[in-house]
Chain A
Amino acid sequence: MEPMQLHILAVGRNAEIMTVMHRLLNAPDNWTGVTVTTDEAAKSAFEKEAFDIVLLCAGISPEEETALTSWFKQRSPAIIVKRHYGGGSGLLKNEILYALENR
């Protein structure tokens, strides 16, 4: 079961993990993903493209999470901003499905 067409932005500090995230986010036929490692790159991508979900990944501190969530929500109140735990594929799909169902 794959969710609807989704465009996903993921920001995290661990470049190696974000490389894996990029592959995972672009693996399903109906998902496309952009991965970045800095807040500036995340904000730039967010202003250029329409995303459905933003994932906050490895290395994002609670303070950065609060600030980034606020920034994204100010520009797009309906955007789902969610911390992604786990790095690998085990939680990715069902965490996204759950977020979509409980937006």
Chain B
Amino acid sequence: MAKTVLHKAATRGHADHGWLNSHHTFSFANYYNPERMRFGALRVLNDDIVAGGRGFDAHPHDNMEIISIPLKGALEHKDNLGNTVLTKAGEIQVMSTGTGVFHSEYNANTDIPAHFLQIWLFPNQLNVTPRYDQVTVDIESKPNHLQQLISPDPNGEGTWLYQDAWFHMGRFDKGSETSYDVKKQGNGVYFFVIKGKFIINGQELDNSDGYGVEDASHFTIVSQEEDARLLVIDVPLFS
């Protein structure tokens, strides 16, 4: 029997600041649940909707790998590394914050909300030189397939970060089946349903549910809806 955690969408922390409507899978800001501090190296999984023209003012981070995945709309990213970049749905950004980065993220549109996932991983190296990267991800033209977004390999598909972690995402037709094998022995896998419904190794998952599995190496993933979307985060486990 695999060791698992199931985070149903409705049990997530929630903060509505007016300009920001955020659901927290793990403890974050004013949401504190000691049972939900992290899944291995995965520390933050926020599902954020930012009102038009609004956003996060400049603020610092250090020693975190921060991944932003826009799902709808676009973000304008600015940082003290000299980057001013637009990141829209179909692209992802990764910041290795290392010794420290100040950045802001604003909804690039004034008239429509921006919906994005904000994900933080603990790094496998402290105090690295900060870096920013952004890549295009095409899951629209390749359905029923998990596409690699991020790996530890600077020469790998997608982009990379300072952790033995892999991110995959896919769009699936109803009834389609795919498989996923853990990328590093000892890693756990956290599934987040971006849209739709799935059955993963027999576990039913609905929209915005999270499901972490610590001790399985092979997964069978079956889509239960048309145009269902899934994020797979493969991370080291440590206490």
Tell me whether A and B are bound partners.
Answer: yes
Chain A at the B interface: mostly helix, strand, loop or mixed?
loop
With both chains docked as a complex, state the minimum distance between the C-beta of A62 and any C-beta of chain B, in angstroms. 6
A61 and B126 form a contact (CB under 8 A):
yes
Number of contacting residues on B, CB 8 A?
24
Contacts of B29 in A (CB 8 A): 89-90, 93-94
* B67 contacts chain A at the CB level, 8 A cutoff: no
Contact A17 to B126, CB < 8 A, known contacts A90-B44, A91-B28: no
Stretch at the interface among B55-63, B70-78, B171-179: B55-63
Interface residues of B (CB under 8 A from A): 27-32, 34, 37, 43-44, 59-64, 97, 99-100, 102, 120, 122, 126-127
Contacts of B43 in A (CB 8 A): 85, 91
A88 and B100 form a contact (CB under 8 A):
no
Q: How far is the CA of A94 from the CA of B97 in the complex (A)?
A: 20
Given A14-B60, A62-B126, 13 new contacts (CB under 8 A): A12-B62, A14-B100, A16-B60, A17-B60, A20-B60, A59-B99, A59-B100, A86-B62, A86-B120, A90-B28, A90-B44, A94-B32, A98-B37
A85 and B60 form a contact (CB under 8 A):
no
Q: How far is the CA of A16 from the CA of B100 in the complex (A)?
A: 9
B122 and A85 form a contact (CB under 8 A):
yes
